[in-house]
Chain A
Amino acid sequence: MIETPEMHRGVRVGGWSWVWRPWIVLVTVVLTALTFLIFSVSIAIGDFTIELPAVFRTLIGQGERVDEFVIMDLRMPRALVGLIAGVALGISGALTQSIARNPLASPDVLGITGGASATAVFVVTASGGTAIANSIGLSTAALAGGLLTGFLVYFMAWKKGIDGFRLILIGVSVSAVTQALTTWLLVLADLRDVARAQRWLVGSLDSRSWSEVWASVWIMAALVLVVLVAAFQMRPMHFGDDVAAGLGVRYSAVRAILLLCAVLLAGVAVSAAGPVPFVALVAPQITMRLMRTPVPPLIASGLFGALLLIGSDLIARTVLPNDLPVGIVTAIIGGPFLVYLLVRANLKRAA
Chain B
Amino acid sequence: MTALRNDAARLGAEGVTVGYADRVVLDNLDVAIPTGVITTVIGPNGCGKSTLLRTLSRLLKPRQGTVLLDGHDIARLRTKDVAKRMGLLPQTPIAPEGLTVADLVARGRHPHQSWVRQWSSDDADVVAKALRMTGVADLAHRPVDSLSGGQRQRVWISMTLAQGTDLLLLDEPTTYLDLAHAIDVIDLVDDLHESGCTIVMVLHDLNLAVRYSDNLIVMKSGAIVAQGHPSDVITSDLLLDTFGLQAKVIDDPVSERPLIVPIGRTHVVSKSDQDLG
Given A242-B90, A242-B93, does the pair A8, B127 have CB atoms closer than 8 Å?
yes
* A17 touching B89, Cβ below 8 Å: no
When each residue 1-33 of chain A gets 1 if its CB lies under 8 Å from chain B and 0 otherwise, what string results? 011110110110001111100000000000000
A248 at the interface (CB under 8 A from B): yes
Count B interface residues, CB 8 Å: 53
CB neighbours of B140 from chain A (8 A)? 5, 7
User: Across the interface, which residues of A come within 8 angstroms of B117, CB to CB?
Assistant: 15-17
Q: Which chain A residue shows the least CB distance to B83?
A: A248
A238 nearest in chain B by CB position? B96
- Which residues on A sit within 8 Å (CB–CB) of B160? 246
Residues A17 and B119 in contact, CB atoms below 8 Å apart: yes
Cα–Cα, bound, A94→B173 (Å): 32
* A336 at interface, CB cutoff 8 A: no
Chain A residues with CB under 8 Å of B115's CB are 229, 232
Contacts A3-B137, A235-B107, A294-B96 given; indicate if A246 touches B118 (C-beta within 8 A). no
> Can you report 9 A-B residue pairs in the complex whose CB atoms are below 8 A from each other?
A5-B141, A7-B100, A10-B120, A16-B116, A101-B94, A235-B107, A238-B96, A248-B82, A248-B84
**B98 contacts A242, CB within 8 Å?**
no
Residues 107 to 131 of chain B near chain A (Cβ within 8 Å) = 107-108, 110-111, 113-121, 123-124, 127-128, 131
A13 to nearest B CB, angstroms?
Answer: 9
Most chain B CB neighbours (cut-off 10 Å) among A239, A242, A247, A293 = A247
* Chain B: CB-nearest residue to A251: B79
Interchain Cβ contacts within 8 Å, total number: 114
**Contact A18–B119 (Cβ < 8 Å):** yes
* Interface residue B13 (Cβ < 8 Å from any Cβ of A): no
- The residue of chain A having its C-beta at the shortest distance from the C-beta of B121 within the complex is A10
Would you list which residues of chain B between 76 and 92 have a CB under 8 Å from chain A?
78-84, 87-91
- Tell me the minimal C-beta distance from A61 to chain B in angstroms: 34
Q: Is the CB of A245 within 8 A of B59?
A: yes
Expressed in whole angstroms, the Cα–Cα distance for A283 and B164 within the complex equals 37
A243 on the B face (CB < 8 A): yes
Q: A239-B95, A248-B84, A295-B96 are in contact. Are A10 and B90 (CB under 8 A)?
A: no
Interface size on A, residues (CB 8 A): 33
Q: Which residues of B contact A46 (CB under 8 A)?
A: none
Q: Is B40 an interface residue (CB 8 A)?
A: no
Could you tell me the distance between the alpha carbons of A248 and B109 in the complex, rounded to whole angstroms? 10
In the bound assembly, the distance between CA atoms of A180 and B49 in angstroms comes to: 48
* Complex A-B, nearest 5 residue pairs according to Cβ-Cβ distance, in ascending order: A248-B83, A246-B88, A242-B90, A5-B140, A248-B80
- Known pairs A229-B115, A242-B59, A247-B111; A8 contacts B93 (CB<8 A): no
Query: In the complex, how many angstroms separate the beta carbon of A111 from the nearest chain B beta carbon?
Result: 25
- A164 CA / B239 CA spacing, docked (Å): 41
B79 shortest CB reach to chain A, Å: 5
Residues from chain A with Cβ under 8 Å of B114 in the complex: 232
CB distance from B192 to the nearest CB of A (A): 16
| B103 surroundings in chain A (CB, below 8 A) | 294
Known interface pairs A10-B119, A235-B107, A247-B107. Does A5 touch B96 (Cβ–Cβ under 8 Å)?
Answer: no
B52 at interface by CB-CB < 8 Å? no
Find residues 228-243 in chain A having any chain B CB closer than 8 Å to their own CB.
229, 232, 235-236, 238-240, 242-243
B99 is an interface residue with CB less than 8 A from chain A? yes
Q: Shortest distance in angstroms between B77's beta carbon and chain A's nearest beta carbon?
A: 10
In-complex Cβ contact of A239 among B93, B100, B123, B141 (8 A): B93
